[in-house]
């Protein structure tokens, strides 16, 4: 008779192939094989269950085509399908029937909470419900109480001015937007993300629109050279100041910026520019709103959520999804496919992934990197991991069917192993994780250290400390660092002088000069060393002079700080244009020479006294002099590949607010050339000499590989 232990060992050995890719990349995961295998088995069990019950995962996630209110243009019928357990009666009410809860009752389809209704066309052959008219779901509870809620699948919600709550609208325009352009593909470029918020994308103190973003902001992003936009706060959120992270209506794009058709036009126009668009998706939690959210939808605390304390996120004051619930998976997976199919988004940045990964949600938990923290069954939420794996399996299915590329990014601070490995290799499926330690490092340095005390070893370690084989998005600052209560890098560097000395007609003070030079160097160092992708929050590329603060009671409901002053880069007398130009040059450096999506750099020098860092990445030679005062003529640096080099990026150029201390061409306009010699230096086979002024960065490339 086979023993239980031997059976488990045999079973684990049989399933080892499921995680072979992960173990090949990181052999230290071997002791945790059973945990990794268990995740794969749970995922496959759920996938099998869905495939058998629904036909395929894609069909399951296409439930947005049948759930909610669905109009059939051929027959003019409207079908209503709702999952509502634990109620006695369900009715559809609205302007179309004078809010009569008796006239349009749904029929119970099964004992699992499914209800349906078909509305035939009017005698004139029109839809029974007019486009953009108000409606709600009415339910009679077992207690006899009647409640009214917004349709969880509603595609349009608009605030009712007097009541300050949102009304559901039947969105069914005669002419929907027709897409003209195909989804762009990444090709060999690294991902360069422009994190943006439609509402703040205007210099005026008001809410910006999808139209404004399409006409005025997309050309700026294209000029800069970013190939991806990450759109924040798209899913409807009743409280504007939540920055979109307290979602009330998951299938409704925010009406405060315009219509769904205008959002489609925005994405289509981005595709015209060759720019891909990611949606900042919040599936980690949901708003506690009852009148215009999911909370207590059917009168219980466990509709799509965990009941009791398990269903509450105490810090965020929000509700937590029950990822083990079949209908919760239908809702969330359909939500992803809805935005991919209907709006043509090119992927997602998943917010709050750390909260999803762990039952403790990362609260008051300091991750040390000990692998036991990632595989302790008392801490890790395998149900949420299964959902994330199903989400990536869904994206893979759609990508294969459409010959498309989708991107997923995890906001995770914990460093969960295999998070950014494909499922086929034993991973969870994300393409990238955000390198959240990098912005924290820069803020601590700028807050506490003088330039002379910067620890180059620590800086380089933080920039390069990432899991082998799992891609990262590096960034100096995102929206988190721009919010009121914190300071942007530009503010840490230049603070109040930004209001008085950013004109080229005023003195270039030591504070302003230091700020402009370090703003560039910090970004280029992060860009070139920190990951396989790069992110910037809108406005920070040109050193936006103010923080971000949404209208709220504490600021008198003011929109003064809920905007981005793009007009500053259009003023030729202001120094913001220098930072904007450098950021653009940095993005185009990757477009030409593929800096980002390549193996990590080889760092040949970290000189703490000279404050010089030298490294090579994908054939480019990067030289940084971070010293505040000392310039070095004929500085010897190592380089592996011999030949004739020329400068392709120089932060000291006048067009970047530099001092033009480096001669890049002779009197005839011929580029200055730097020849290597076969004298090994700093563990490199060759070396060359170069002049590097203080607070300056140079990027060199072999002459025969330079691109115009």
Write down the catalytic residue from 280, 291, 346, 411: 411
pTM: 0.95
Query: How far apart are the C-alpha atoms of 261 and 484, rounded to whole Å?
Result: 33
Q: What is the predicted pLDDT for the residue at 547?
A: 86
Q: What is the pLDDT of residues 55-107, one digit of tens each?
A: 999 999 999 999 999 999 999 999 999 999 999 999 999 999 999 999 999 99
User: Residue 71: which of 2, 120, 26, 36 has the closest Cα?
Assistant: 120
Q: What is the predicted pLDDT for the residue at 153?
A: 98
List CB contacts of 579: < 8 A, sequence separation 6 or more: 490, 516, 519, 520, 541, 542, 543, 656, 657
**Residue bearing tokens 């007609």:** 505
Q: What is the predicted pLDDT for the residue at 487?
A: 84
Query: How far apart are the C-alpha atoms of 254 and 208, rounded to whole Å?
Result: 12
Q: What is the predicted pLDDT for the residue at 14?
A: 65
3-state SS assignment for residue 678: coil
Beta-bridged to residue 554, according to DSSP, are: none
Other residues' Cβ atoms within 10 Å of the Cβ of residue 74? 5
291 to each of 131, 160, 301, how far by Cα in Å?
22, 12, 14
What are the structure tokens assigned to 566, written together?
């793009």
Write down the catalytic residue from 151, 262, 292, 351: 351
- Domains of the chain (ranges; CATH) run 65-169 (2.60.40.10), 182-282+475-594 (3.20.20.80), 602-705 (2.60.40.1180)
Q: Is 495 a catalytic residue?
A: no
Q: What is the predicted pLDDT for the residue at 1?
A: 38
What are the structure tokens assigned to 224, written together?
């800069």
Q: With a cut of 50, list the residues of the chain below it in pLDDT.
A: 1-10
Query: How far apart are the C-alpha atoms of 254 and 155, rounded to whole Å?
Result: 10
User: Residue 149: which of 300, 334, 33, 339 has the closest Cα?
Assistant: 300
User: Residue 195: which of 162, 227, 222, 232 has the closest Cα?
Assistant: 232
Q: What is the predicted pLDDT for the residue at 3?
A: 44
Q: What is the predicted pLDDT for the residue at 46?
A: 97
Q: What is the predicted pLDDT for the residue at 486?
A: 76
Q: Is 470 a catalytic residue?
A: no
**How many CA atoms, within 13 angstroms, populate the side-chain half-sphere of residue 103?**
10
Q: What is the predicted pLDDT for the residue at 6?
A: 37
Strand pairing category for 674-675 and 312-313: unpaired
Query: How far apart are the C-alpha atoms of 125 and 327, rounded to whole Å?
Result: 34
Query: How far apart are the C-alpha atoms of 646 and 169, rounded to whole Å?
Result: 61
């Amino acid at each position: 008779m086979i023993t239980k232990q031997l059976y488990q060992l045999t079973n684990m050995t049989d399933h080892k192939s499921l995680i072979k890719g992960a173990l090949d990349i990181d052999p230290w995961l071997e002791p945790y094989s059973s945990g990794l295998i268990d995740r794969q088995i749970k995922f496959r069990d759920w996938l099998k269950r869905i495939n058998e019950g629904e036909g395929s995962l894609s069909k399951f996630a296409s439930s947005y085509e049948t759930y909610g209110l669905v109009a059939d243009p051929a027959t003019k019928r409207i079908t209503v399908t709702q999952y509502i357990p634990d109620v006695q009666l369900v009715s559809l009410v609205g302007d179309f029937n004078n809010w009569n809860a008796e006239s349009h009752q749904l029929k119970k389809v099964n004992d699992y909470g499914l209800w349906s209704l078909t509305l035939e066309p009017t005698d004139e052959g029109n839809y029974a419900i007019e486009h953009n008219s108000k409606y709600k779901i009415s339910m009679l509870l077992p207690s006899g109480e009647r409640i009214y809620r917004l349709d969880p699948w509603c595609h349009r919600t608009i605030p009712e001015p007097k009541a300050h709550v949102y009304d559901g609208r039947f969105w069914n325009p005669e002419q929907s937007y027709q897409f003209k352009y195909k989804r762009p593909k990444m090709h060999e470029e690294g991902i360069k993300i422009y994190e943006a918020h439609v509402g703040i994308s205007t210099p005026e103190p008001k809410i910006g629109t999808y139209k404004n973003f399409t006409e005025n902001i997309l050309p700026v992003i294209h000029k800069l050279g970013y190939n991806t936009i990450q759109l924040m706060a798209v899913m409807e959120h009743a409280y504007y100041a939540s920055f979109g992270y307290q979602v009330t209506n998951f299938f409704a794009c925010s009406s405060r910026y315009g219509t769904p058709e205008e959002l489609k036009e925005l994405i289509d126009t981005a595709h015209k520019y060759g720019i891909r668009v990611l949606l900042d998706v919040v599936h980690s939690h949901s708003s506690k709103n009852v009148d215009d959210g999911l909370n207590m939808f059917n009168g219980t605390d466990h509709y799509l959520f965990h009941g009791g304390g398990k269903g509450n996120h105490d810090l965020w004051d929000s509700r937590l999804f029950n990822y083990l619930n079949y209908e919760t998976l239908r809702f969330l997976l359909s939500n992803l496919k809805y935005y991919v199919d209907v709006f043509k988004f090119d992927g997602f940045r998943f917010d709050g992934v750390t909260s999803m990964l762990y039952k403790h949600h990362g609260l008051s938990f300091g991750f040390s990197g000990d692998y036991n923290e990632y595989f302790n069954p008392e801490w890790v939420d395998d149900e949420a991991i299964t959902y994330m794996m199903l989400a990536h399996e869904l994206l893979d299915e759609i990508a294969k069917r459409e010959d498309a590329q989708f991107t997923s990014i995890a906001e995770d601070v914990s460093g969960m192993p295999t998070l950014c490995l494909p499922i086929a290799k034993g991973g969870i499926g994300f393409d990238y994780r955000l390198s959240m330690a990098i912005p924290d490092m820069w803020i601590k340095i700028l807050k506490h250290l003088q330039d002379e005390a910067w620890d180059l070893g620590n800086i380089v370690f933080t920039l390069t400390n990432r899991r082998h084989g799992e891609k990262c998005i590096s960034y100096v600052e995102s929206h988190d660092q721009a919010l009121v209560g914190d300071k942007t890098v530009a503010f840490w560097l230049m603070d109040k002088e930004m209001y008085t000395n950013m004109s080229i007609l005023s003195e270039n003070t030591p504070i302003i000069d230091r700020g402009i030079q370090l703003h560039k160097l910090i970004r280029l160092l992060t860009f070139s060393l920190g990951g396989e992708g790069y992110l910037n929050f809108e406005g920070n590329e040109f050193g936006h002079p103010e923080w971000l603060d949404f209208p709220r009671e504490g600021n008198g409901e003011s929109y003064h700080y809920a905007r981005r002053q793009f007009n500053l880069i259009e003023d030729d007398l202001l120094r913001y244009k220098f930072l904007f130009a450098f950021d653009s040059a940095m993005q185009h450096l990757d477009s030409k020479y593929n800096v980002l999506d390549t193996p990590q750099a080889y760092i040949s020098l970290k000189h703490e006294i000279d404050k010089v860092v030298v490294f090579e990445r994908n054939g480019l030679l990067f030289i940084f002099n971070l010293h505040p005062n000392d310039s070095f003529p004929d500085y010897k640096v190592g380089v592996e590949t011999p030949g004739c080099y020329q400068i392709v990026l120089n932060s000291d150029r006048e067009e970047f607010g530099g001092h033009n201390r480096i001669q890049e061409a002779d009197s005839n306009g011929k580029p200055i050339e730097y020849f290597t010699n076969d004298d090994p230096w700093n563990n490199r086979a060759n070396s060359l000499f170069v002049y590097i002024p203080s607070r300056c960065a140079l990027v060199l490339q072999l002459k025969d590989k330079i691109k115009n």
